Structures are given as structure tokens and as C-alpha cells.
Structure 1
Amino acid sequence: MDDLLERLRDGLPAEALLTDPDVTASYGNDMASFCAAGTPAVVVLPRTVEQVQHVMRTATDLRVPVVPQGARTGLSGAANASDGCIVLSLTKMDRILEISPVDRIAVVEPGVVNAVLSRAVGEHGLYYPPDPSSWEMCTIGGNIGTASGGLCCVKYGVTAEYVLGLKVVLADGRLLDTGRRTAKGVAGYDLTRLFVGSEGSLGIVVEAVLALRPQPPAQLVLAAEFPSAATACDAVCAIMERGHTPSLLEIMDRTTVRAVNELANMGLPETTEALLLAAFDTPDPAADLAAVGALCEAAGASEVVPADTVAESELLLQARRMSLTALETVKSATMIDDVCVPRSKLGAMIDGTAAIAQKYDLTIGVCAHAGDGNTHPVVCFDHLDPDESRRARESFDEIIALGLELGGTITGEHGVGVLKKEWLARELGPVSLELQRGIKQTFDPLGILNPGKLF
């Protein structure tokens, strides 16, 4: 420990090192439940690329594990510390280095908060689409690490589609440039995409070139009530089959709606079994909402209410954004799943989750990015009750198994981390797993980068 601190101090300012055990313990974990976390030896808050390089050179020389962190809003344990590690918190590297309206790019450091970037590029008439529910807190580096999505994925895609290039500090301290600033480029292997979603296991992202879009018109939102999740999912299938491209298409089940009302008195209809939100940011959103509303009614919606104004639309979006927070107030703890299935299987996934909740006598609320089949079942439980905690864990695993049976994936946007390590091998299969471990070995031969995650 003394040798580690002495070596780190040689290349870091005093304020970049945190050693108080009470303080360092607060950096031990992200927001996931049931994920083991160790005790860091030290927390480092670098402000420059050179400081990150110094940390990695020191870690390599002393064979000390390094756990990179952003805002720790993750839900898979990917940012959890390991015993004796260096926690490398990148939140102080929070500069927007460039915004180019001509090239439609932004160059940012990893600690830039998603919402801060969105507002900054908006001042130039531009738009950065990926918008996780935690966008007011989460960082771009964390979004890149877990390949985050968000509410607007159905039309605009996820983080991976907006990362053009990266600067990455490798395990031995070398600086790697990947990708480009150009609109096109196919030179060599796509190392940029390799780092997106790697959860800090291959290198430390210290700068990113992000693609931007022109700012779209303000969107209008429609809310449709359904007597069952199945009929709501029928509407989703009809909307997509008819070629509509909503900017947002979200489902909240009855449990989620009631939790949101309880938390914020939003006045959402508690009699509904499923509430579908659809939005359009087209030149004539009212016409698009009318067409989608007709499809919802044909699928069995009991009521369809289009918002008349942007303000009304924002209230509905606020309700959806607070879904996870609201469900966290139902019991003392939650496990938030992240299973993505083909759109055609969305109804089966939601109904199957309801059956699992009944089987284990638990409250499980489901909100979903319906447009891309990404469900977020939230298991609510009393963490002080051993039996209820056991049932929560078992139900969580059964939900993942259901998603795989339906042709889905164990994670659409939250990542694997610690929480889903055992499931990753089942999804990938032995050949893919062997190759991915080989990639990890190439980039991190000593195994010091975020050890214990993914594999």
C-alpha cells in the first residue's frame, strides 16, 4: 500500500488521491443489487490523459487491479470495486472539447454528463440522441462502457451508433487512437466498436468523438390505455409493421403506473393494465399520432389520449423516466432486469414475467422500450427478509431464462458486470466465449482491468 501510494503521488496532484477509508468505501459499488463489491486501496480522480497513463503504468508495474468508474449509476455491478484495487473515477475529466456543426460531431472527455452534452449541442441546433433514464446523472464514459440506450432508441439507435472514435489508455499506459472524425471510414478492424460495451475491461476511455444529428422538431406524445399487456404489444407490432417510425414507444404495466402515481401524484390511469406511450418528432406529429391512435384502438385500447402541447408531452415522458425510481420505493430493494427480446415476443415476455411474479409472490413492475423489445422487469423485495431475498434472486434468474427462451439477450443496455456473468456464457456459447477471452488477454495480459467482470 505504501509503495502504491508513493508511486501514484509521483505523478498526481494531492487532491487527485483519496485514501480516507470512509471516503474510499463510498466508491465501492454502483446501483446494482446482489453484486459483490470489494474495498479499494485508493481512489484516483484524474483530470488529464497523462494522469490516467501514470495510474495505468503504476498499476502494471505493481500488478494492482484498476476499476474505472463514471457516475456509478450502472445496474450490473460493472463499476464495483475489487479488494485492494485502484478505483479510477473519471468524473473530473468533464470537458466538452469541441462541438462542430459542420462535421456534426462533439469531442468530449468521459466525465461529461449526458444531459449536459445534450443541452450544449442543442445550443448549436444539434442533437445527441442516446438518452438513458439516468441522463441527468450518467456520464458519456459510462454510457460507452455499457453501450447504453434510452427512450429514443427505436428511431435513433443506441450509443454504439454515435461513437466515431476514441482515445483509450491501455493497461500498460500506452495511448491508443481508434476510429475517425469523418462520416465514413473502413480502415482496418473496428476497434472503436470493440471498446463500446466492454465495461472498462479492455482500456480506459479518455476522449470520445461523437456523432450528432440536427435537432428534430419538438415531439408530441400519445398515451393509450390497454386492458392487457398482450393487447398493448399487439399495438406495438401493428405500429412497426405499418412502417411508422416513432421517436419513442414505451410500455408501463399497472404496477409501474401505480408506483409512479404514488411517488409523484402524476394522475396516470391506475385502472389500465398497460399504458403505451408513443411519440413523434416529425413535421406533422399530430397526423402521425392520429394514425397510431387508430392502430391502438384497433388492437383493443380502451382509451387513446394524444397530447395537445409539448408541455403535456413532457409530463408524460417525465412519468416514464421516473418509473425505475418509483419502483424502488415499493420495497427496500430492487433488482432491475434488462432483457431484450424480438418485438414479436414482447407480449410473451411481459405476460411471462407476470406469471413469474405470481409464482414467487413478489411485486415485479415492468417498463419497456417497446419499440425495440427491451424490457426492464423490476423485482421489488425486502432485503432484510432472507426468504424474500432468495425468491427475488430466483425470479430474476427465471426472467433472464425466459428472455433467452424467447430468442432474446440477457442485456439490452445495462451490461453484464457482476450480475449476469454466469448467464453470459450461456448466451455466447463456448466458441464465442473463448474468442472473447482471447481478446481480453490481448489487451490486458495481466488481467488488471476491471477484473471479475463479464467473464
Structure 2
Amino acid sequence: MSALIERLRDGLPQDAVLTDPDVTGSYARDMAGFCEAGTPAVVVLPRTVEQVRHVMRTATALRVPVVPQGARTGLSGGANAVDGCIVLSLVRMDRILEIDPVDRIAVVEPGVVNADLSRAAEELGLSYPPDPSSWEQCTIGGNIGTAAGGLCCVKYGVTAEYVLGLDVVLADGRLMSTGRRTAKGVAGYDLTRLFVGSEGSLGIVVGATLALRPRPPRQLALAAEFPSAAAAGDAVCRIMAAGHTPALLELMDRTTLRAVNELTRMGLPETTGALLLAAFDTPDPAADLAAVGELCAAAGASGVVPAEDEAESAMLLQARRSALVALEAVGGTMLIDDVCVPRGRLADMLQGVEALAEKHGLTIGVCAHAGDGNTHPVVCFDGRDPDEARRARAAFGEIMALGLELGGTITGEHGVGMLKKEWMARELGPVAMEMQRGIKQVFDPLGLLNPGKLF
């Protein structure tokens, strides 16, 4: 251990190497509270690419595992430490290096907070659309690692669609650049996409070139109340089948609404079975909202309330962004599913989750990026109660199984991490898993990068 610390300090500032057990312990896990986490040997906080290269060269020489981290807002244990590892926190690499309004790109370091990039782009009449619920805390590097989505992905797409190029430090300390900053480019294999969603298991992202879009008009939203989550799912299908492209289409069930009200005192309707939020940033959002309101009514909505202005719209969206924090307060421990199904099976998924909550005697709130079919059933329970924990794990697994039965996937945007390793193997099958492990072996032959995740 002393040799490791000494070698790290040879190439890092004194304040970049943390060894106090109370401090390093605070870096042991992300927000997936029910996943195991080990004890790191040391936490390092580099500020430069060369410092990251020094860390990886040291790790390779001494055969020490490395767990890369951003803001630790992940929900699958993907940033959890393993015993004796180097935690490589990239939060101090937080510079926006360039925003080019002609080529519509941003060049950033991995520790840049998503919301900070969005605001900087907006000042130049541009936007960076991917907007996870944790956008005020999560970093671009973490977004790239998990291929994050967000509330606006129904219209604008997810992180993978905006990453044009990457600078990556490999396991042995070599620096590699992938991709491009041009509008087009097809030279060689698409290594950029390979790294997006790799959860730090193939290399350390130290820089990213991101596509930007023109800043859209301000959103105007509506809230539609439904007697059940399944009826809200039916409305989603009607909206998409009619050819509408909302900027967002989000769902909260009754359990989630009550939790958000308890946390925020917003006065959301608790008697309804589900609340569907739709927003448009088109030239005439009021007309689009009126058309969507009619479709919601046809699907059984008991009430449709358009926001009168941007302030009301923002309040509705803030309620949705508060959902996970609010549900955490219900049971103290959460298991958060991230099951994405075809839109046509969304109602089946929501009904199935309701049945599983009753079967296991648990509180399971559902919030969803409904326009993508990306549901987030949140199993709330007391982690100190062995029986509740057992039932929660059983319900969690059955929700993932239901998603696969409906033609979906076990994760739409949160990643696999530690939480879903078994289920990734079930979804992909043995041949695909063999290829996945082969890719890992090429980039990380010693198995040092984020071990215990994905596989």
C-alpha cells in the first residue's frame, strides 16, 4: 500500500491523493444503496490528462484495480469501489474547453456538470439536449459511461447520439482519440460508440467532443389525469401513433405523486391513478397541446390541464425531476428498475408492475420517460428488514423478467453496473456475452478497469 501511495504522489499534487479512511469511504458507492461496495485503498482527483495517465500507468505496474467515478449519481452500482482499488474521481476535470457555434460542437472535460454545459450552450443560442433527472449534479463523463437519457430524449435522443469524439486513457496509460469533430466521418470502426455505455470498463474518458443543436423555443406543458397507469400508457400510444413529437412525455403513478407531494408540497392530484406530462417546444405549442389533450381524453383522462405559462410548465417538470428523491423517503431503501419496453407494450408493463406490488406486499412507484417506453419502477422498502429486502429483490427480478417478456431491455439508460449483471447475460445470450468479454480483454487484458461491473 505504501508503494502505491508513494508512486501516485510522484505524479500528482499533494491534495489530489486522499488516504484518510473516513474520506475515502465517502467515495465508496454511488446512489444504488443496496449494491455492495468495497473499501478503496486511495482516492485520486486528477486535474489533467497527464495525471490520469500517471494513475493508470501506476495501476498497471502494480496490478491495482481502478474504479472511475463522476458525481456518483448512478443508480446501478457502476461507480462502487472494490476492495483495495484506486478510486479515480474525475470531478476536478471540469472545464468547458470550447463551444463552437458554427460547427455546433462543445469540447469538454469529463467532470463538467450536465446543467453547466446546457447553460453555457444556451448563452450562445445552442442547446445540449440530453438531460437526466440528476442534470444539476451528474457529469458528462458519467453520462457517457452509462449512455444516459433524460426527460427530453423522446424528441432529441440520448447521450450516444451527441458524442462525436472522445479522448480516452487506456488501461496501460496510453492516450487514444476516437471519432471526429466534423459533421460526418466513417473512418474505421466506431470506437466512440463502443465507449459510450461501457461504464468505465474499457478506458477512462478524459475529453469529449459533443454535438449541439440550435436552442429550441421555450416549452409549454400540460398535465393529464388518468384513472390508472395503464390508461395513461394507452394515451401515450395514441399520441405517438398520431404522429406527434413532444419534447417530453413523462408519467408518474399514484404512489409517485403522493411521494412528490409529501416532499415538495406542490399540491399534485393524489386521487388520480397516474399523471401524464406532455410538453412541446414547437412554434405553436398551444395547438399541439390541444390536440394531445383530445387524445388523452379519448384514452380516458379525467382531466386535462394545460399550463398557462412557462413558469407553470417548469413547476410540472420539476415535480417529475423530484420523483426519485421523493420515493427514497418512502421506504429508506430503493431498488430502481430501468426497464424499457416497446411503446405498444407500455400499458402491459405498468399493469404488470401493479400486480407485482400487490403480490409482494410492497410499495412500488412508477415514473417513466413514457414517450420512449422507458419505465422506472422504484421498489421502496426497509433495507434493515430481511424479509422486506428479500421480497424487494424478488419483485425487482420479476419486473426485469416482465420487461424481457414484453420484448424490452433491462436498462434503457441507467446502465448495468453491479445491479444487473445476471440479467445482462440473460438478455444478450451466450454468444453476445462471449463477444463482449472478448472486447473487454482487448482493451483491458489485466482486468483492472472497474472490475465486477457488467460481467
TM bin (shorter chain): over 0.9
Which residue number in structure 2 is paired with residue 29 of structure 1?
29
Does residue 1:220 correspond to 2:252, yes or no? no
Does residue 1:297 correspond to 2:288, yes or no? no
Which residue number in structure 2 is paired with residue 192 of structure 1?
192
- Looking at structure 2, the residues matched to 96 and 407 of structure 1 have their Cα atoms a distance apart, in angstroms, of 40
Per-residue deviation, 1:181? 0.2
Which residue number in structure 2 is paired with residue 134 of structure 1?
134
Which residue number in structure 2 is paired with residue 285 of structure 1?
285
Could you give the per-residue CA deviations for residues 279-298 of structure 1, whole angstroms, max 9, x where no partner exists?
Answer: 00000000000000011111
Q: How does 1:46-195 map to 2 (within 5 A)?
A: 46-195=46-195
- Looking at structure 2, the residues matched to 423 and 336 of structure 1 have their Cα atoms a distance apart, in angstroms, of 14
Q: Which moved more, 1:169-178 or 1:331-340?
A: 331-340
SS at match of 1:368: strand
Per-residue deviation, 1:231? 1.5
SS at match of 2:50: helix
The answer (yes or no) to whether the contact 2:34–2:333 under 8 Å persists in 1 is no
- Looking at structure 1, the residues matched to 328 and 9 of structure 2 have their Cα atoms a distance apart, in angstroms, of 40
TM-score, scaled relative to structure 2: 0.99
Which residue number in structure 2 is paired with residue 389 of structure 1?
389
The answer (yes or no) to whether the contact 2:34–2:334 under 8 Å persists in 1 is no
Which residue identity does 1:442 align to in structure 2? V
Per-residue deviation, 1:413? 0.3
Which residue number in structure 2 is paired with residue 205 of structure 1?
205
Which residue identity does 2:428 align to in structure 1? L
Which residue identity does 2:204 align to in structure 1? I
Identity %: 81
Does residue 1:275 correspond to 2:275, yes or no? yes
SS at match of 2:380: strand
The answer (yes or no) to whether the contact 2:289–2:306 under 8 Å persists in 1 is yes
SS at match of 2:331: coil
- Looking at structure 2, the residues matched to 202 and 273 of structure 1 have their Cα atoms a distance apart, in angstroms, of 43
- Looking at structure 2, the residues matched to 326 and 285 of structure 1 have their Cα atoms a distance apart, in angstroms, of 30
- Looking at structure 1, the residues matched to 33 and 363 of structure 2 have their Cα atoms a distance apart, in angstroms, of 16
Which residue identity does 1:315 align to in structure 2? M
TM-score, scaled relative to structure 1: 0.99
Per-residue deviation, 1:33? 2.9
Which residue identity does 1:223 align to in structure 2? A
SS at match of 2:330: coil
- Looking at structure 1, the residues matched to 233 and 224 of structure 2 have their Cα atoms a distance apart, in angstroms, of 12
Q: How does 1:279-358 map to 2 (within 5 A)?
A: 279-358=279-358
Which residue identity does 1:131 align to in structure 2? D
Which residue number in structure 1 is paired with residue 235 of structure 2?
235
Which residue identity does 1:21 align to in structure 2? P
Q: CA RMSD in A?
A: 0.6
Which residue identity does 1:230 align to in structure 2? A
The answer (yes or no) to whether the contact 2:113–2:137 under 8 Å persists in 1 is yes
Per-residue deviation, 1:338? 0.5
- Looking at structure 1, the residues matched to 104 and 235 of structure 2 have their Cα atoms a distance apart, in angstroms, of 35
The answer (yes or no) to whether the contact 2:148–2:158 under 8 Å persists in 1 is yes
- Looking at structure 2, the residues matched to 33 and 72 of structure 1 have their Cα atoms a distance apart, in angstroms, of 11
Q: Which moved more, 1:161-170 or 1:260-269?
A: 260-269
Does residue 1:436 correspond to 2:436, yes or no? yes
Per-residue deviation, 1:36? 1.2
Could you give the per-residue CA deviations for residues 31-75 of structure 1, whole angstroms, max 9, x where no partner exists?
Answer: 103211110110000000000000000101110000000000000
Which residue number in structure 2 is paired with residue 416 of structure 1?
416
Per-residue deviation, 1:178? 0.1
Which residue identity does 2:235 align to in structure 1? A
SS at match of 1:209: strand
- Looking at structure 1, the residues matched to 169 and 442 of structure 2 have their Cα atoms a distance apart, in angstroms, of 14
- Looking at structure 2, the residues matched to 363 and 231 of structure 1 have their Cα atoms a distance apart, in angstroms, of 20
Per-residue deviation, 1:105? 0.3
Which residue identity does 2:298 align to in structure 1? A
Which residue number in structure 1 is paired with residue 38 of structure 2?
38
- Looking at structure 1, the residues matched to 142 and 230 of structure 2 have their Cα atoms a distance apart, in angstroms, of 34
Which residue identity does 2:94 align to in structure 1? D
SS at match of 1:297: helix
The answer (yes or no) to whether the contact 2:109–2:208 under 8 Å persists in 1 is yes
Which residue number in structure 1 is paired with residue 360 of structure 2?
360
Which residue number in structure 2 is paired with residue 406 of structure 1?
406
SS at match of 2:207: strand
Does residue 1:13 correspond to 2:13, yes or no? yes
- Looking at structure 2, the residues matched to 310 and 177 of structure 1 have their Cα atoms a distance apart, in angstroms, of 41
SS at match of 1:330: helix
- Looking at structure 2, the residues matched to 382 and 446 of structure 1 have their Cα atoms a distance apart, in angstroms, of 39
- Looking at structure 2, the residues matched to 228 and 134 of structure 1 have their Cα atoms a distance apart, in angstroms, of 27
SS at match of 2:176: strand
Does residue 1:2 correspond to 2:2, yes or no? yes
The answer (yes or no) to whether the contact 2:416–2:454 under 8 Å persists in 1 is yes
- Looking at structure 1, the residues matched to 180 and 453 of structure 2 have their Cα atoms a distance apart, in angstroms, of 29
- Looking at structure 1, the residues matched to 252 and 38 of structure 2 have their Cα atoms a distance apart, in angstroms, of 35
How many matched pairs? 455
- Looking at structure 2, the residues matched to 225 and 35 of structure 1 have their Cα atoms a distance apart, in angstroms, of 35
- Looking at structure 2, the residues matched to 34 and 217 of structure 1 have their Cα atoms a distance apart, in angstroms, of 41
Per-residue deviation, 1:375? 0.3
Per-residue deviation, 1:332? 1.5
Could you give the per-residue CA deviations for residues 253-303 of structure 1, whole angstroms, max 9, x where no partner exists?
Answer: 000011111111111111110111000000000000000001111111111
